[in-house]
Structure 1
Amino acid sequence: MVKLSNEALRRVVFTNLGIADPDIIIGPRVGEDAAVVRVGDKYLVMHTDPITGAVEGVGWFAINIVANDIAVRGVKPRWFLLTLLLPRNVGEDGIRVIMSDVNRALIELGGSLVGGHTEYTPGIDRVIASTTAIGIGNRYVTTSGAKPGDLVLITKYVALEGTAVLANDFGEELMGKGVSKEIINRARAFLREISVVKEALEIADIANSMHDPTEGGLLQGLLEVAEASNVRLRINIDKIPILPETRLIFNALGIDPLKSLSSGTLIATVPRNQVEVAMNRLEKLGINYSVIGEVVNGEPGIELISNGRVLEEVHGFIEDEVMRLWHLKYGE
């Protein structure tokens, strides 16, 4: 899967959205994680996403990826609809494995599968899973809410999702480049860390914005916050946390973890006077965090700094490094 550029979305997608409904609070916009619709005095939050770029753990990804996009709105993901498109070589045992992962993810999140569709689809050679998640709440958080003066906080480590995908789908290539089986097995377990639901719900009442960086990685996620909020993010690259397993695997393949699938990392901008509150709450959950920068006035984009010096300015659209390798391997 390779996303359309923001410019293409604006030209050919956002110009064809049907009627203007006054109850749509947030519809399709660049950088926003989920739709928000007013229902009485509450807000219905919805999001849909396909899983096309992973072979292992499809059911686990299918639930957790969309759940993250509801949670960063500050709303608990409760109801899910799942569409499974299957190649003919997937039998009942294979479907059972997928659905077992789906069930396990739902139980951990406290969610329910309420519908969907399952079929054998001609012309595909792997499972494609598309999931819709829904939640309802009294308030919501946006990607576009970042304000000058906020501090930029992220949870866990970057590229957890990308590391797990590479370890699962590129194991032989990695061993051929000298990465040990032990490192690869540890990295495969990062699949369990891709949810940001707990931390997002924990700090939703004090965050001005929250975002779930997926394709394009941390840098693309930060760019989306900057562009949606019309602000500039000054990011200290030395503060960005990267696990040793991620460094080893990404170095072996010659790609950048900052530009790679990063579900499992929550981006939040928090007022300075609330950052200590956020850190205390995350510590009680046992979730590590890093304050990596600040929100400033200026042209939307990112300043990457180190030792007080600007190393690079980042703008535009970032191609995901893991997805690029994945498509090369699978001939797409």
Structure 2
Amino acid sequence: MSAFEDQSGKISSKLFRQIIEPQSGRKRDEVITGPGFGVDTAVIDLGNGNGLATSSDPVSLIPLLGLKESAWLSVHLLVNDMATTGFAPQYVQFVLNLPADFPRDSFEQYWKYIHEFCDDLGIAITGGHTAQVPGQESTTPGGGTMFLQAPLDEIITSDGAEPGDKIVVTKESALVSSSILAKSFPETVKEECGPEIYEQACENFYRTSSLQDALEATKVLAPKTELKAMHDVTEGGLLGGITELAEASGCGFRVDSDKLPVGEAPQKICELFEIDHRLCVGAGSMIMAVAAGKEEALVNYLNDQSIPATVVGELTEKSEATILIEDGKEDSFKFDGNDPYWNAFFKAMEKGWE
């Protein structure tokens, strides 16, 4: 019997609460924010007015995508988690369990890109573990942990939203998933969607950092009182991310599906691969919970910084459940935890798409 019910993807909220949450080592008073479903970062009180924020994520090594692109994902998906604090990460450690047949020159290139992306962002690589492992074939061969130090009372966490807060989303849905699919199966996407859509998707790949979105938001709204919570869009896409933020904060939500932003390239590529853009991993987009009355100022400011932003709904009392509005009709929405992106990726490989 598989540890997870669906045998893939992130652990479900139910299993997390049953297995991990009640068994998280020694309880220490200085751990302000510990393990929580939908919570991007842990926060530790350093006792000097500062806090240590830390977060972990898998690294990526996707042969069809390329070494540079894989290194970009390895660094920036970690950065996106840390960006939810309202601050930029400062340090990182990597664990790499690479395939046994991974060539030396490929490793040198891959690591060179990881170094350069970290250096560009001011992040010091402070250590880790590197090895080659027989039988390793995963596209996520290891992980990384990032750290930052900042004033404790200014560090935002994704469990800080409250009923009545407005939900703001930056950029658009399915940015990273549609980009990876296009870059991994270029001939199929060019033939079925056209070369312009393919080029748009490739350009979107390097829009998959949400660090600037978060840092700019803290310039116009006060952290924790006006900008209540942030959550980056990973597995489960926009709707999965909103569900996680609401659950972490003990809230329900009401979201208008028609307001969820999607660009032409992500929409057409998701249609080609028969997946719902609202539920696909969407790194590059940031979900923000904003005090009511402050959302317009945030959206206008971000748009002025060339960061598209949209109000898509609001947080509600938990008792009001989770509501999705489609075609003007309200209905209960339950995210099942499944992101259709990976199945689409592997099905395309099985079909021999190029």
SS at match of 1:299: helix
Structure 1 stretch 212-221 or stretch 268-277: which is displaced more?
268-277
Q: Give yes or no for contact 2:163–2:317 (8 Å, CA) kept in 1.
A: yes
- Write the distance in 1 (CA, Å) between the matches of 2:334 and 2:62: 28
Letter in 1 for 2:301: R
1:289 aligns with 309
1:203 aligns with 217
Q: Give yes or no for contact 1:62–1:102 (8 Å, CA) kept in 2.
A: yes
The two structures have a TM-score, normalised by structure 2, of 0.86
- Write the distance in 1 (CA, Å) between the matches of 2:119 and 2:171: 22
Written as runs of structure 1 = structure 2, the 5 A alignment for 1:84-123 is: 84-123=96-135
Where structure 2 has 5 or more consecutive residues not aligned to the other structure, the ranges are 1-7
Structure 1 stretch 65-74 or stretch 6-15: which is displaced more?
6-15
Label 1:172 to 1:301 Cα distance change in 2 as closer, same or farther (>3 A): farther
Is 1:245 matched with 2:259?
no
Is 1:69 matched with 2:81?
yes
Pick one of 226, 230, 234 that aligns with 2:254.
234
- Write the distance in 2 (CA, Å) between the matches of 1:108 and 1:90: 26
1:14 aligns with 21
Label 1:313 to 1:101 Cα distance change in 2 as closer, same or farther (>3 A): farther
Identity, in percent, stands at 28
Label 1:3 to 1:298 Cα distance change in 2 as closer, same or farther (>3 A): closer
SS at match of 2:294: helix
> Deviations for 1:220-240, whole angstroms, at most 9, x for unmatched residues?
101111212222211111111
2:197 aligns with 183
Pick one of 62, 72, 92 that aligns with 1:80.
92
- Write the distance in 2 (CA, Å) between the matches of 1:96 and 1:77: 24
Pick one of 154, 168, 189 that aligns with 1:174.
189
Pick one of 57, 61, 68 that aligns with 1:49.
57
- 1:106 CA drift (Å): 1.6
- Write the distance in 2 (CA, Å) between the matches of 1:95 and 1:223: 38
1:141 aligns with 156
User: What is the RMSD computed on CA atoms of the aligned residues?
Assistant: 2.1
> Deviations for 1:134-174, whole angstroms, at most 9, x for unmatched residues?
11111211222222222110100111011112112233443
Label 1:53 to 1:260 Cα distance change in 2 as closer, same or farther (>3 A): farther
- 1:329 CA drift (Å): 5.4
Is 1:320 matched with 2:333?
no
- Write the distance in 2 (CA, Å) between the matches of 1:131 and 1:32: 17
Q: Give yes or no for contact 1:73–1:141 (8 Å, CA) kept in 2.
A: yes
- Could you list the structure 1 runs, at least 4 aligned residues long, displaced by more than 4 angstroms after superposition: 327-331
Letter in 1 for 2:40: D
Letter in 2 for 1:28: P
SS at match of 1:193: coil
Structure 1 stretch 134-143 or stretch 123-132: which is displaced more?
123-132
Say how many residue pairs are matched: 329
- 1:53 CA drift (Å): 7.6
Structure 1 stretch 132-141 or stretch 281-290: which is displaced more?
281-290
Letter in 1 for 2:279: K
Label 1:144 to 1:126 Cα distance change in 2 as closer, same or farther (>3 A): closer
- Write the distance in 1 (CA, Å) between the matches of 2:20 and 2:11: 10
- Write the distance in 2 (CA, Å) between the matches of 1:53 and 1:96: 13
Structure 1 stretch 30-39 or stretch 299-308: which is displaced more?
299-308
1:192 aligns with 206
SS at match of 1:272: coil
